[in-house]
Structure 1
Amino acid sequence: MKKVIHTHGLAILVIFLVSLILILPQLITKGMVLGSDAVFHYNRFYDAAMQMKEGNFQHFISMYGFQQSGRIVNALYGPLIAYIQGLLVLISPSWFGYQVVSRFMIFVLSGISMYTFLNKAHIRSSLSCAGAIFYLTTFSIQYWTMRQGFSSWGAAILPLCLVPIVDMAEKKEFNWLELGILTALMFQTHVFTSLILILIYLPFFCYAFIKNPKKSQLLKKLACSIGLFFLLTLAIWVSFYMIYSTNTIADPFINQHMDRSAITSNGRYWLTTPIFLVVLLFGQLLTSVLLWKKYPPFIRLCSGTMLFFLILSTNIVPWNQLQGKELLIVDLIQFPFRFFVPVTIFLLLLACYTFQCYGKKNLFSMAILTAILAFSLGQVMLKTQEPMNEWNTEKRMVQTGRKHLFIQTTDKKELKKAVHSSDFTTLLTLVEKSTPDYLPIYQQNHKNNYRQYEQHILAINHQFKKYVKNHKLYVEWNANQAAKVKVPIVKYARTELTLNGKKLTDKDIVLTKIGSITVKQQVGKNSLSITFRGSQQIIFPIALSMFSWIIALYILFKTKIGGKS
């Protein structure tokens, strides 16, 4: 540990200080950024936070977030990272506080992650630190600040997850424990980025397999890594099976205009944040052509991989012809600009390598490098300050279109007060969005899922009292007559409903397209309890996965200390 601090302590300290500088303007101005994905993710994290705070754990249904509707989100969308984010919510005084803390955390995490990868790739410490700082200024990471795009958390740990490719290319080997743990970590964080990670591993593993004479040994290690990966992510796979095997689930947002989301179209800001990124890109592409024969295998593989993802992020791929064809992989991609994340990482590695091997290490070059970093930091701070200024001047309070977004107040000061309130439900009540991801679909018709959620959940939710007790969600209301009533609760195949002491069967419930329910009320007080059958069954997979994480990390730590592979 002393050796690590002595060797890398200064670089890590600089990353911490730069991360602090990046959040200072927000701390000073008290500006807030409510991007397009803020409402969705803030509901996820609030649900996880309140489960931990009140001890009412429920792996599947949302009991606190998403209008306390009983819909399933976290079980299918990075449950581990949701609880980590929930912890950040718990230690924060308000949503503003959470936004500041989470921004600081993602900057530190991505900086250390990038520094670790560059250092592993034999880039000297000072240059690795510079590359890590530059990475903080790219849209791959700033996506979280500007729009609360969760792929930034995948981008934050992606460089760390690329550490094994160095040994694959140079030693034709890899640490199977490390590979399994890092892949599982990414899968727990962001599923789409984990698919990108596997695509990156593929050419490097193939190279190692071709060059290594002990092929059977390498395949055994790969099998062990895959086995460990499934063990560490067991709870997610069990959740997927339990939910998808008995329900038809609404797909996440399918982009019908993917061609507009490429970096050569409306996604150009990925190239120009910061502006020196596009300069680096064209400069490095030219350099790679000129120096290709001098490059070692690792750098060649990195260059080829970068070019592959660069092409995928542009309209060289005919996205306009592929979209709308019900191709699962195309629908999963959603936004081609997300392929630019690995391009950014490999570009910084290649630029640092080129500078280290072919650049002159003198005062002038150091001054140029420092100026580029300072300019990039300044540019991104000004860019991120724009929406915060719009918040403070009340010019634009929410940085997204009003489609399917509902702000339940015309008083902008009330909205400002909500983000600084210690009552986290205030903002989630004032700003609602009808995102239908992971809702159950019971009817195959052309009714818009967003509109259905607006009509059957958002529009009537205020008419009911909801609370959580003993790991169950309760809904209460009073009625003047015995009649059928729409209740803003979502039912899945395993959702169990008990109304006024009677367990409801399918015959007692009328379901809408998205699974919201209609039941028969009684005169006077009505009480409906909601739970999920299978909540006890998931405890064992969760416990086994958590135990496996502890053991795997301990063994990896011991092997790293012992210098074994």
Structure 2
Amino acid sequence: MEEQKNSSNELILKAEQLFKWLAPYLVIALAIYLLSIIQLHNHRTIIDIDTMFHYNRFYDVSQQIKTGNYSYFQTNYGFNQSGRVVNALYGPMIAYINGFLILVAGTWFNYQIISYWVLGLIGGIGMYQLARKAKANKVASALVSVLFLNIGAYQAWIDHTNMIAWGAVLVPYAFIEGLNMVQDHDRPIRWIRLMLIMSLIAQTHVISTILTALGLIPFAVYGFVKANNKRQMIGRLLLAVIGTTLLSSNVWGALLMIFTKNHIAPTLAHSLAGNAVSSSNNTIRDEISRMLVLVFLIQVLYPTIAKYNFKDKEFNKINLLVSLEGFIIFAISTVYFPWKEVSSYLPILRTYLQFPHRFLILAYPLLLVGLAMTMTQLTSKEAVGVTGIGKAFMIFTAFVTMQNYGANYARIADHSINLSRIFVVNQSKKGKYSKNVGVPSSEDMIKYKHGLTGDELIYGEDAKDADAKYGKLYISSGARGLLYKNTTNIRAVDWATRTKEGRFKLFDLIEKINPDYLPVRGKKKVTAEAVDRSYIKHVVKPQESGKYKYSVKENKLIITWKGKKRARRNLPLVMYKQSHLTVNDKKVKHPFKHSKSKVKTPVVMQKKGKNQAVLYFKASPAYSWTLFLALASWILLLGFGIYYLFSNYILTKQLNN
């Protein structure tokens, strides 16, 4: 009887320990659920400024996986089936992961919800583990993890489909290695872990890789000063750099190959000052709530003023390091930094940095881990006389977290009910649209707002008849390229986003043009806007005309059409230096000789009757080696990981026996 009682008590004890271990992760999961609950209720897919760009490239990968027609460079299914190169230059690994998620999800709506959970769990757990690495207690660590999910890049993925979110959720893991540099004086560089996380970020978002590397510099410098074996630290750091270069060689190799052999269109230039962070009632992209600013101000002041009031001097110094670095980076990202002057001296940043709020992917994790350390210290037994202040500060931080969640809830509700701001035309009445050069001036502009009841009215008329009466919508989007085509038929968008059959139809209903990585003719400067218009004229409209039939075989894109007579024809395809084109089984040697397009689209001689063009991309032999190195490096790393886990499991089992 006594043995049974002891066994029961032991079981209860183990259950309690399991719950205590699981509790922070359950809190993170609850936070993600609360952010997705609106869409789970109304079943609406949010479509915004970057959605169509990334959905095109993910859809292309999903079709590659589905059909087995793999094409690492050439886009054969997305982007108007034009043969553009996008994924090889922009987060190739994460593109294939998202393509797989789309296949698993089945619909755009399901994929969107799944992506919230994947991103949220990666980011929330990463932030929690970062705070725990800094020796913050579980309550403070869980609290800042929930706050992390309610501010910045994660919210930008929900609202705008900003790809930087995928890099941002990995940044806390990089800072875990940064903390190790300053905590472990014997082994400051865990080079395999550092190499792995930096390679994952490189395979996700290039600008995030550069920013993260810059963010780790203060940790490396501090760690080097404190390191017991400086030579060993340098050696392991070099191993991490070399390993990262090998694991991400496919990314850097592709960028070099495309940009050195082709004249690539510039990305859209943006106002740096206009995209710097300012305070408001929101915390997303370039906005931060005023109450959160107050929390961060208190946080950065605390370790600066009270850094010698506690026994653990190392703890205080690390808090000071992360808080000061985080606040300096945060200050640089704001409107108070002289971005206008920077823009005039370094105009290239308008094209490549584009948005100063990108620095927040560094600032937020650093400030939040410092915040967790401060709350831990102020509520500890050592904090005699100030534990009440510490608890009050923790409650205030929890209140600010809920305030940010409330703002996010309201914004997501508005975006999902109205589908997106992308559907709102800022014009008070129907009229001719002539502001955007290159778009037919005969098309009507339509303003409408989708109602809460699901009834769509346009000037008192049902939206389902609007397309027939008014024609297509041509709308100039204020940011990120040209929104060439939209639809007033919300029911059609719902069908396209909530059924497997409608996945490709979404691209017919909404067409948004981005100049990213498009090859252009000549070496004269050309604006991104001019490239957009050229792409519409020479690729989008012909593709939409119904005159071409598209098919894919292995890595080749095949289009067929009927010619009324022998004549020159501009094909709706995009060609790079490495692209090869055959028409009616004959290689086209000078595809741009008669082309008038700014984008490199070929002009060929068609024959009377049926014609067939085959486009394929042939990477240079040098690049093939970089791709091989990347694949081989990942396979070796995976093999090492399996061996390490297996050997540790066997060793642990033997020791237990």
TM-score (norm 1): 0.91
Which residue of the partner structure matches residue 6 of structure 2?
none
Taking the aligned partners of 1:388 and 1:25, their CA distance within structure 2 comes to: 8
Which residue of the partner structure matches residue 407 of structure 2?
379
Verify the 8 A CA contact 1:260 1:266 in the aligned structure 2. no
Match for 2:327: what amino acid? L
Which residue of the partner structure matches residue 435 of structure 1?
514
The DSSP-based 3-state class of the residue aligned with 1:243 is: helix
Indicate how the Cα distance of structure 1 residues 353 and 73 shifts in structure 2: closer, same or farther if over 3 A, else same. same
Q: Is 2:628 the partner of 1:543?
A: no
Taking the aligned partners of 2:340 and 2:568, their CA distance within structure 1 comes to: 46
Taking the aligned partners of 2:648 and 2:202, their CA distance within structure 1 comes to: 23
* 1:438-493 Cα distance to aligned partner (Å, 9 max, x none): 01122215461111111111121123211211221111111101111111100000
The DSSP-based 3-state class of the residue aligned with 1:207 is: helix
The DSSP-based 3-state class of the residue aligned with 2:602 is: strand
Which residue of the partner structure matches residue 242 of structure 1?
257
1:4 Cα deviation from its structure 2 partner: 10
Indicate how the Cα distance of structure 1 residues 290 and 319 shifts in structure 2: closer, same or farther if over 3 A, else same. same
Give the 5 Å matches for 1:92-491.
Answer: 92-172=105-185, 173-255=188-270, 257-264=271-278, 269-270=283-284, 276-294=291-309, 296-323=316-343, 328=348, 331-359=351-379, 360=387, 370-391=398-419, 393=451, 401=478, 404-423=482-501, 424-443=503-522, 444-446=524-526, 448-462=530-544, 463-491=547-575
Verify the 8 A CA contact 2:579 2:615 in the aligned structure 1. yes
Taking the aligned partners of 1:252 and 1:329, their CA distance within structure 2 comes to: 11
Verify the 8 A CA contact 2:549 2:560 in the aligned structure 1. yes
Match for 2:376: what amino acid? Q
Which residue of the partner structure matches residue 590 of structure 2?
506
Verify the 8 A CA contact 2:276 2:333 in the aligned structure 1. yes
Match for 2:369: what amino acid? L
User: After the TM superposition, which of the residue ranges 13-22 and 70-79 deviates more from structure 2?
Assistant: 13-22
Q: Is 2:67 the partner of 1:54?
A: yes
* 1:301-360 Cα distance to aligned partner (Å, 9 max, x none): 212211221122023432212326565456321100111222211221111111111142
TM-score (norm 2): 0.79
Verify the 8 A CA contact 1:35 1:399 in the aligned structure 2. no
1:209 Cα deviation from its structure 2 partner: 1.3
**Bigger relative contact order, structure 1 or 2, given CA contacts below 8 A and separation 6+?**
1
The DSSP-based 3-state class of the residue aligned with 1:162 is: helix
Taking the aligned partners of 1:258 and 1:529, their CA distance within structure 2 comes to: 42
* 1:183-213 Cα distance to aligned partner (Å, 9 max, x none): 1111111111111111111111111112224
Match for 2:417: what amino acid? N
User: After the TM superposition, which of the residue ranges 51-60 and 166-175 deviates more from structure 2?
Assistant: 166-175
The DSSP-based 3-state class of the residue aligned with 1:77 is: coil
The DSSP-based 3-state class of the residue aligned with 2:85 is: coil
Taking the aligned partners of 2:549 and 2:256, their CA distance within structure 1 comes to: 32
Indicate how the Cα distance of structure 1 residues 548 and 432 shifts in structure 2: closer, same or farther if over 3 A, else same. farther
Verify the 8 A CA contact 2:378 2:391 in the aligned structure 1. no
Verify the 8 A CA contact 2:279 2:289 in the aligned structure 1. no
Verify the 8 A CA contact 2:278 2:288 in the aligned structure 1. no
Match for 2:507: what amino acid? L
Taking the aligned partners of 2:274 and 2:628, their CA distance within structure 1 comes to: 45
* 1:197-233 Cα distance to aligned partner (Å, 9 max, x none): 1111111111111222422111111111111101111
Verify the 8 A CA contact 1:452 1:513 in the aligned structure 2. yes
Verify the 8 A CA contact 1:313 1:336 in the aligned structure 2. yes
1:415 Cα deviation from its structure 2 partner: 2.4
Which residue of the partner structure matches residue 532 of structure 1?
617
The DSSP-based 3-state class of the residue aligned with 2:580 is: strand
Which residue of the partner structure matches residue 440 of structure 2?
none
Give the 5 Å matches for 1:55-70.
Answer: 55-70=68-83
Verify the 8 A CA contact 2:182 2:226 in the aligned structure 1. no
Which residue of the partner structure matches residue 383 of structure 2?
none
Verify the 8 A CA contact 1:137 1:380 in the aligned structure 2. yes
Indicate how the Cα distance of structure 1 residues 489 and 509 shifts in structure 2: closer, same or farther if over 3 A, else same. farther
Taking the aligned partners of 1:267 and 1:515, their CA distance within structure 2 comes to: 45
The RMSD of aligned alpha carbons is 3.0
The DSSP-based 3-state class of the residue aligned with 1:245 is: helix
Verify the 8 A CA contact 1:233 1:545 in the aligned structure 2. no
Structure 1 unaligned regions, length at least 5: none
Taking the aligned partners of 1:149 and 1:213, their CA distance within structure 2 comes to: 42
* 1:96-133 Cα distance to aligned partner (Å, 9 max, x none): 22111112221122111111111111111222111111
User: After the TM superposition, which of the residue ranges 471-480 and 168-177 deviates more from structure 2?
Assistant: 168-177
* 1:61-86 Cα distance to aligned partner (Å, 9 max, x none): 11111001101000000000000011
1:171 Cα deviation from its structure 2 partner: 1.7
1:364 Cα deviation from its structure 2 partner: 7.0
Indicate how the Cα distance of structure 1 residues 510 and 116 shifts in structure 2: closer, same or farther if over 3 A, else same. farther
Taking the aligned partners of 1:508 and 1:446, their CA distance within structure 2 comes to: 17
User: After the TM superposition, which of the residue ranges 163-172 and 44-53 deviates more from structure 2?
Assistant: 163-172
* Larger Rg over CA atoms: 2
Match for 2:407: what amino acid? Q
Indicate how the Cα distance of structure 1 residues 246 and 508 shifts in structure 2: closer, same or farther if over 3 A, else same. closer
User: After the TM superposition, which of the residue ranges 258-267 and 74-83 deviates more from structure 2?
Assistant: 258-267
Count of matched residue positions in the alignment of Structure 1 and Structure 2: 561
Indicate how the Cα distance of structure 1 residues 366 and 25 shifts in structure 2: closer, same or farther if over 3 A, else same. same
- The percent identity for this pair of structures is 27
Taking the aligned partners of 1:400 and 1:56, their CA distance within structure 2 comes to: 34
Taking the aligned partners of 1:188 and 1:395, their CA distance within structure 2 comes to: 44
Match for 2:632: what amino acid? L
Indicate how the Cα distance of structure 1 residues 15 and 507 shifts in structure 2: closer, same or farther if over 3 A, else same. closer
Match for 1:378: what amino acid? G
User: After the TM superposition, which of the residue ranges 119-128 and 33-42 deviates more from structure 2?
Assistant: 119-128
1:504 Cα deviation from its structure 2 partner: 1.5
